[in-house]
Amino acid sequence: MVLIERAIVRWLNPAARLIFSAVEHPTGRPLVEVVRDHRIEAMVARVQEAGLEQAIEVESPLSGRLLQARAMPLGMDTIGLLVRDVSRIRYLETVRQQFVANLSHEIRTPLAGLDLAAQTLSGQLPDNGDARMFIDRIIQESQRLQAIVLNLTQLAALDAEGIEVERAPFSVAELAQELVDRCQPRAAAAGLQLRAEPVEGGVEALGDRGKTDQAMQNIVDNALKFTRAGEVVVSARADHSRVEIVVRDTGAGIPPRDLPRIFERFYKVDRARGGQPGSGLGLSIARHLVELQGGTITAESTPGVGTLVRVRLPRAPLTSP
């Protein structure tokens, strides 16, 4: 923590003295001489002028460390500067991303070989008996593992920020109906009603249709998985600037203490939602895909009644250039 008055450093705590150790006696010196970074100095000047809190992340030219700096007005001429060294955190994030990407890549080939061998053996076995039961279980679990690996691969790509996002109008009504038609066999097999409510004609969202479809697929899959009886409904509405796509189910619901965490990766509400198998990645991927387009995703739930997930995206202009 650094206290600054009219671009002069007035006080530093011990942690700040360690971060900005190039100057032996920093108190009373100009800020730029202490932090040795004109970007931080410029941010503090903007806060002094506008009176609004600002934050940046910079790499120190002297030490190479990554610093998160946040400046906030504390009085007429006093600015508080909070600096955090996040070098270790960023390094660990990079290691994690590389580990997930490499692991998913290495596992994909043997899993595909296992599934192919099991499928081949399945064609040579009788329709009934213990051998049939075991080979069907092997196929089921191998396909489940392949789905997890696919999710891990997608998360690694999202973390690497290497995914391009399209910005084009697309029909919300068509997307909702195609999604329902595609998931209808699974809903019918589970004895559930899956339907799309009529959407106002001509409503278009502005974003990436493919990524929106993938996000909504994950949301509907999750709703079908945790709904024992009743229905799953996809609906949409729009105002002057946003389009809202809603998936509502009549499942077990989510306890209030767990609701804020359901979009975290690997988070599962097992006891509340029936202990269904899964990786806990589907909703996390959906959140990433929606936020990439400048949208938001939220959830509301009442235990024993059901869950409602809202995806909001920018609305396309009524007339395209």
Per-residue pLDDT of 216-227, as tens digits, reads 999 999 999 889
Q: What is the mean pLDDT of residues 261-271?
A: 75
The superfamily (CATH) of domain 168-314 is Histidine kinase-like ATPase, C-terminal domain (3.30.565.10)
Query: Does the pLDDT of residue 152 top 80, yes or no?
Result: no
Q: What is the pLDDT of residue 279?
A: 61
| Residue 318 pLDDT grade (very low, low, confident, very high; cuts 50, 70, 90) | low
Q: Is the pLDDT score of 255 beyond 70?
A: yes
pLDDT at 29: 92
**What is residue 321's predicted lDDT score, i.e. its pLDDT?**
41
What value does the mean pLDDT take over residues 252-261? 88
pLDDT at 277: 56
* pLDDT(52) > 60: yes
Choose among 283, 252, 280: nearest CA to 268: 280
- Structure-model confidence comparison of residues 159 and 235, the more confident one: 235
Report pLDDT digits (tens) over 154-189. 777 776 666 778 889 999 999 999 999 999 998 998
Alpha-carbon distances of 170 from 79, 87, 163, 243, 309, rounded to whole Å: 47, 41, 19, 11, 20
On the question of pLDDT at 130 being above 70, the answer is yes
- 141 or 69, which is more confident? 69
Please tell me which residue, 89 or 158, carries the higher pLDDT value: 89
For the chain, residues classed under CATH 3.30.565.10 are 168-314
Q: Greater confidence, 164 or 78?
A: 78
pLDDT at 232: 94
Flag whether pLDDT at 20 surpasses 70.
yes
Weakest mean pLDDT among 90-104, 148-162, 276-290: 148-162
Indicate the average pLDDT of the chain: 86
Helix axes 282-292, 130-159, angle to 10 degrees: 30
Give me the pLDDT at residue 308, please: 94
Q: Name the β-bridge partners of 12.
A: 2
CATH architecture of 2-85: 2-Layer Sandwich (3.30)
What percent of the chain lies above the pLDDT cut of 90?
Answer: 40
- pLDDT value, residue 1: 94
DSSP string computed for 54-106: EEEEEE-TTT--EEEEEEEE-SSSEEEEEEEE-HHHHHHHHHHHHHHHHHHHH
Q: Which of 74-88, 213-227, 260-274 is predicted least confidently?
A: 260-274
pLDDT at 310: 94
Range(s) within the chain of domains with CATH label 3.30.450.20: 2-85
- Asked if residues 120 and 138 have their Cβ atoms less than 8 Å apart, the reply is no
Averaged pLDDT for residues 239-266: 88
Say yes or no to pLDDT of 273 above 50: no
The pLDDT value recorded for residue 278 is 57
Q: Is the pLDDT of residue 122 over 50?
A: yes
Q: At what angle do helices 130-159 and 87-122 cross, to 10 degrees?
A: 150
Most confident of 25-39, 117-131, 199-213: 25-39
Region 289-309: what's the mean pLDDT?
91
Q: Where in the chain is the domain with CATH 1.10.287.130?
A: 92-159
Q: Where residue 80 falls among pLDDT bands split at 50, 70, 90?
A: very high
Domain 92-159 has CATH 1.10.287.130: yes
